[in-house]
Structure 1
């Protein structure tokens, strides 16, 4: 993997060679443009970036990942414009297989006001030669080609060489999966769990040498389509993200507020469980008597207490617990299914701006 100190080199390359006929802003002189394989890759890459047509991607990727290149859809947009970050081809790197090469892209924009180049991401994908055509593929299989694989009941673990495999955490995860299947009244399903040591390693699996979010937190991960969990918690246990696999199957219209809430209710958030989070929420509400939960229903708001408790997540989790205790889980499931806004869903449980704070505090005994 290339490190961020390579970015200075990228910035120098930015305006060296323009390819106006394709949607490639520049190509590094390190790319051998006389090589026939590379010529095909550059042509196909330009056409793919211009259209984002799935015909340029391996069909097998769609069967495993559903949306294999979703990470770069819209990546060119930013506060400085919809097409501010333009793709530059950094390198085409040979692999141990003759028909596959790594394609390394940088997404860079030029700020005319500050006269400076800004980089948003460096992204890798695999170019595969199939007959006389080039197809692209996700980077994750190449990145994990030397990882250990462990099969535990319905879970297939892919274990980073950087970490130790914990059977204790595996057993804990299997127990939680049994509980979730009973709660959601559904059969267990295959889960593909990539176990890494940090969010930085998570983003590398997703193809990024650099992404601004890969250094934002010390823990975290993703639940992906088709039963994939990528964990950056240095653990074989990540119930929060596994809950998202259940909700995506059973309640595809669920509002993100409730989706994160029910995941936090069962799996906590980050390294801490739900009970720990509720203790922190009670302390937060005590120290902030004027806090209005109704003004913070955006579950992605980065509002933390003591750097560890994500307030909107925990508020939603407590509301889920409160609703289950008062109305039963089936009533909560009906809200998950209907796809209404958070405000509309809360009305179902007689909650509004006028009483949500008092009901929340009463339930928590604050």
Structure 2
């Protein structure tokens, strides 16, 4: 047993000398197709630099690129920065060569100041080869959607698990909200892919994750939007998660605005609740935490797992402007490039006055 073990260790060391990827003990890389897949995978990860992503046409099939500009649904696992470019250590936990592809399971993690391993995501990548032996990625969603169903209502394709009973009433309500939004903002319909599940963890698995830091905890409505490819993933709120659809329609119109989230909260609430529900929770928190400084609104982003105070405040600001000047007020609001400019021009409030101003408005709106 010593000789095979030594050979495996030497193979791991040899691989790690030319790769940013680490191999967990026991991962077998001796097969030719596995070596090819690993080199391909390593080159792909090496191509990420900050928010820049490599030429995806070198790694994905034309069919996948026709469906999505960003076919890799694992890139934005945590935030708007690519998972592969945030300095996390990629460790391959599992490799298996199958008939259609090589399956690679990778842990992305880092060590904290005490040396404890903090896992951010565990991903699944599938690498096939074409007729010319050229490797390419296969989207996990292509595999995982086989057991899902689809129903199209107007401009929305609803994808849902086979054990979910489709709610036509909620779907019609979403379409009604979309039509109203289109008329108000003078927009044309956008063809949206809407993936829904009763459990948000199921949506992460659909995209190809075994785990992300966003998974687990108590079930609550949540979702993410993707205005690059006009798709949303909505967990726990069925067919009418309008918040994420608003992002698909309006985010692209106001790329430089710091308050785009406010529009989605104004129209669609947040985490399944309207603005006022969240402002009541924020108001109670502020009463109990007089030290909280709202003049640094970007830093005030967490009170508990059920309310994002920053989003609630943004929604409140949009509500105040909408009640005063309607849709034209919202369009004006979205032109500001910083919070300082927004509050000074829209409310005549300086940074020094902001904490008192926001506390007062939150209390008024909450009560």
User: TM-score range with shorter-chain normalisation?
Assistant: 0.7 to 0.9
- In structure 2, relative to structure 1, the CA distance for the partners of 1:270 and 1:194 (3 Å cut) is same
The CA RMSD measured in Å over matched residues stands at: 3.1
Partner of residue 249 from structure 1, selected from 252, 263, 273: 252
Deviations along 1:116-149, one digit per CA (max 9) or x if unpaired, are 5443321012212122210124322222121011
Q: Which residue in 1 is equivalent to 2:83?
A: 75
Name the CA shift for 1:295/1:326 in 2 (closer, same or farther; >3 Å): same
Judged with a 3 Å threshold, the aligned counterparts in structure 2 of structure 1 residues 260 and 133 are, in CA distance, closer, same or farther, namely same
Contact kept, 8 Å, 2:170 with 2:240, in 1: the verdict is yes
- The separation in 2 between residues aligned to 1:216 and 1:269, in whole angstroms, is 18
Q: Aligned to 1:254, what secondary structure does the other structure show?
A: coil
Q: Distance in 1 between matches of 2:329 and 2:254?
A: 13
> Deviation digits for residues 126-173 of structure 1, max 9, x if unmatched?
212122210124322222121011111111011123432211211111
CA separation in 2, counterparts of 1:332 and 1:238? 21
Q: Where does structure 2 lack aligned partners over 5 or more consecutive residues?
A: 1-7, 49-53
Aligned with 1:49 (options 45, 51, 75): 45
* Whole-Å separation in 2 of the counterparts to 1:198 and 1:15: 43
Aligned counterparts, 1:228-267, within 5 A: 228-255=231-258, 258-267=259-268
Q: CA deviation at 1:209?
A: 0.3
Task: Tell me whether 141-150 or 355-364 shows the greater mean CA deviation.
Answer: 355-364
TM-score by length of 1: 0.80
**Contact map agreement 1:31 1:92 (CA 8 A) in 2:** yes
Query: Which among 216, 221, 224 is matched to residue 223 of structure 2?
Result: 221
Give the Cα–Cα distance (whole angstroms) in 2 for the partners of residues 120 and 365 of structure 1. Answer: 36
**Unaligned 5+ residue runs, structure 1?**
1-12
* Number of matched pairs: 339
Change beyond 3 A, Cα 1:289–1:101: same
* Distance in 2 of aligned mates of 1:324 and 1:140: 39
Which of 88, 93, 96 is the matching residue for 1:90?
93
Q: Which residue of 2 aligns with 1:124?
A: 124
Distance 1:196 1:16, change over 3 A: farther
Q: Is the 8 A contact 2:192 2:232 kept in 1?
A: yes
1:173/1:60 CA distance change after superposition, 3 Å = same
Per the normalisation by structure 2, the TM-score is 0.80
SS for the counterpart of 1:165 is: coil
- Of stretches 197-206 and 186-195 in structure 1, the one that deviates more from structure 2 is 197-206
1:66-114 per-position Cα deviation (integer Å, ceiling 9, x unaligned): 334433665367xxxx64x32222333456xx43343211224456x75
Q: Distance in 2 between matches of 1:15 and 1:182?
A: 65
Go from structure 1 to structure 2 and tell me whether the alpha carbon gap of 1:144 and 1:308 turns closer, same or farther (over 3 Å shift).
same
1:184 maps onto 2:165 in alignment: no
Q: Does the aligned pair in 1 maintain the 2:262–2:314 contact within 8 Å?
A: yes
**CA–CA distance in 2 between the matches of 1:271 and 1:232?**
10
Alpha carbons of 1:358 and 1:269: their partners in 2 closer, same or farther (altered >3 Å)? closer
2:51 match: none
